[in-house]
């Protein structure tokens, strides 16, 4: 029995594309995978607290139905029978979806968010929800309803946020894959902190309806915000992008989406810029050395790597992000704060024009480069700090005391211009914490970012399952 359980655990920790192939080949059933994940959650989730809601009975019915369809020889989708959890800020039909807020403690949506519906249409079986900070508004994952989520690599450290439960669940092998959201780094931060793969797609590529950032939310789009997959391999990101990308259901009547192909198979000859530190946001020296080492490996593999980067001011572009994210997140704030923070519509229109100029500058830079590599967060996974409000939290970087909000500026930098960015693990620090890199591609060249993630992962092979799980 012990040996069989180990085999099962090895399979449960496999990437989604391998699990999907195993289900289709009838090497494992959807029901076996579901029960395997539930057993791992039962055993390991109490310490990590990534999964906060389960819908076991309905999921077992759906998994049995998936196995029945295969037995009959029915046509099946690319995710057929894969049991998954979904970030709790995303609406799931018939399953409590709270956005991490006490106001939605009893909220059970009548319909799936369009992106969730796409995963189900491709065959995935949704069986639970993963933890988020209140209204997805933090770089750590804790709330009044469900408490704190701990990093599987080091329980004393944060998973990052706001898709912290999602990334921890993927890292710990509680789910085949996950779907998070990212407005200020909420897919990318936890992917980096938990040592998994994440994609922040181009703005608008995956529908973001059904996103719960306030009571009554999810009926409109939030500026900068995207939904994106979190997984145990870069190839999974490609598989999931193919399932998820497409216009809003209401627009699909007339509009289609045709993402351009990656356009390359190997790193050789790729023109890659690097932007690994900036006076506005210094990067931890040990992490910086890992970034540089990764870039050197790419150069050895034939990529044309240089330190060129878009001719923009880091500080100015980040300041624009700050100006534009405040109106975008204002629905989650108390009215009196939101009214002040969201500013005037005229100020937003001026910011929109400034963003258009920046987007043009980035697009022009990309005519001479295929990709840009950046840090994710300036530090590896940081210790929990659930006592102080976010603006007051501090962290030491290279011996210097800094605001915690300083170290996540690399996320908004890319988010405000809407560009796709894949995160892939590149190694671990001396103390064993995983770190990742942002692989940034031109607007709507999401497949290029994902293909590069696959190539970089094949070269570095830095992904690992956390030792404790």
Residue (of 294, 301, 305, 309) closest to 271 by Cα position: 305
Residue (of 170, 147, 150) closest to 160 by Cα position: 150
- The whole-number average pLDDT for the span 263-279 is 96
Residues in the chain: 469
* Long-range CB contacts for residues 307-313, cutoff 8 Å, separation at least 24: 307/273, 307/274, 307/275, 308/273, 308/365, 308/368, 308/369, 309/273, 309/274, 309/275, 309/365, 309/372, 310/273, 310/275, 310/361, 310/362, 310/365, 310/372, 311/361, 311/365, 312/358, 312/361, 312/362
The pair of structure tokens assigned to 63 is 């998994």
Q: What domains sit in the chain, N to C, each tagged with a CATH number?
A: 2-244 (3.90.1300.10), 271-451 (3.90.1300.10)
C-alpha separations of 302 from 175, 227, 261, 266 in Å: 36, 33, 21, 9
Of 30, 136, 162, 332, the catalytic one is 162
**Matching residue, tokens 């045709």:** 258
Residue 2 binned pLDDT confidence (cut-offs 50, 70, 90) = very low
| 128-174 residue pLDDT tens | 999 999 999 999 999 999 999 999 999 999 999 999 999 999 999 99
What's the whole-model pTM score?
A: 0.98
Cα separation of 158 and 152, whole Å?
A: 9
Q: Does 136 qualify as catalytic in the annotation?
A: no
Q: Does 87 qualify as catalytic in the annotation?
A: yes
Tell me the β-bridge partners of 372. Answer: 273, 440
Of 30, 87, 233, 332, the catalytic one is 87
Cα separation of 181 and 445, whole Å?
A: 19
pLDDT at position 4 over 80: no
Cα separation of 322 and 452, whole Å?
A: 29
Q: Does 186 qualify as catalytic in the annotation?
A: yes
Cα separation of 39 and 34, whole Å?
A: 9
Cα separation of 189 and 182, whole Å?
A: 9
| 31-90 residue pLDDT tens | 999 999 999 999 999 999 999 999 999 999 999 999 999 999 999 999 999 999 999 999
Of 29, 30, 176, 186, the catalytic one is 186
Question: Integer distance in angstroms from the first to the last C-alpha of the chain?
Answer: 19
The pair of structure tokens assigned to 440 is 């940034």
pLDDT at position 5 over 90: no
Helix or strand run (H / E) with residue 401? strand 400-403
Cα separation of 354 and 348, whole Å?
A: 10
- The whole-number average pLDDT for the span 354-373 is 98
Q: Tell me what the pLDDT averaged over the chain comes to.
A: 96
Q: Are 171 and 469 in contact (CB under 8 A)?
A: yes
pLDDT at position 7 over 70: no
């Amino acid at each position: 029995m012990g040996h069989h359980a180990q085999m099962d655990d090895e399979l449960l920790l496999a990437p989604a594309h391998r699990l999907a192939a195993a289900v289709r080949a009838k090497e494992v059933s959807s029901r076996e995978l579901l029960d395997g994940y539930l057993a791992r959650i039962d055993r390991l989730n109490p310490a990590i607290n990534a999964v906060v809601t389960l819908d076991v009975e309905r999921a077992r019915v759906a998994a049995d139905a998936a196995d029945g369809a295969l037995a009959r020889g029915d046509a099946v989708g690319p995710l057929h029978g894969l049991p998954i959890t979904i970030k709790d800020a995303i609406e799931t039909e018939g399953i409590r979806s709270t956005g991490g807020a006490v106001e939605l403690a009893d909220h059970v949506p009548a319909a799936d968010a369009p992106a969730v519906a796409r995963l189900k249409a491709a065959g995935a079986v949704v069986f639970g929800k993963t933890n988020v900070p209140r209204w997805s508004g933090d770089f750590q994952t804790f709330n009044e309803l469900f408490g704190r989520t701990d990093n599987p690599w080091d329980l004393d450290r944060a998973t990052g946020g706001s898709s912290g439960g999602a990334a921890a669940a993927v890292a710990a092998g509680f789910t085949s894959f996950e779907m998070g959201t990212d407005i200020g780094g909420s897919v990318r931060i936890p992917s980096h902190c938990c040592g998994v793969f994440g994609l922040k797609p181009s703005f608008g590529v995956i529908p973001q309806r059904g996103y719960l950032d306030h009571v009554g939310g999810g009926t409109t789009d939030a500026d900068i915000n995207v939904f994106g997959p979190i997984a145990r391999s870069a190839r999974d990101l490609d598989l999931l992008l193919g399932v998820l990308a497409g216009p809003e259901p209401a627009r699909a009547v007339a509009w289609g989406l045709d993402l351009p192909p990656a356009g390359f198979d190997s790193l050789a000859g790729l023109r890659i810029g690097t932007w690994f530190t900036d006076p506005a946001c210094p990067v931890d020296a040990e992490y910086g050395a890992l970034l540089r080492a990764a870039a050197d490996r790419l150069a050895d593999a034939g990529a044309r790597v240089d330190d060129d980067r878009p001719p923009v001011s880091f500080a100015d572009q980040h300041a624009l992000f700050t100006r534009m994210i405040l109106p975008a997140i204002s629905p989650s704030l108390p009215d009196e704060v939101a009214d002040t923070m969201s500013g005037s519509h005229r100020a937003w229109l001026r910011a929109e024009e400034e963003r258009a100029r920046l987007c043009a500058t980035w697009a022009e830079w990309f005519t001479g480069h295929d990709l840009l590599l950046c840090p994710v967060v300036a530090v590896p996974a940081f210790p929990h700090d659930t006592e102080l409000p976010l603006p007051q939290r501090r962290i030491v970087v290279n011996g210097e005391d800094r605001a915690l909000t300083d170290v996540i500026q690399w996320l908004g930098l890319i988010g405000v211009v809407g560009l796709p960015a894949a995160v892939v693990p590149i190694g671990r620090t001396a103390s064993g914490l995983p770190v990742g890199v942002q692989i940034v591609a031109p607007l709507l060249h999401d497949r290029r970012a994902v293909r590069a993630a696959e190539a970089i992962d094949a070269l570095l092979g830095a992904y690992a399952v956390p030792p404790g799980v």
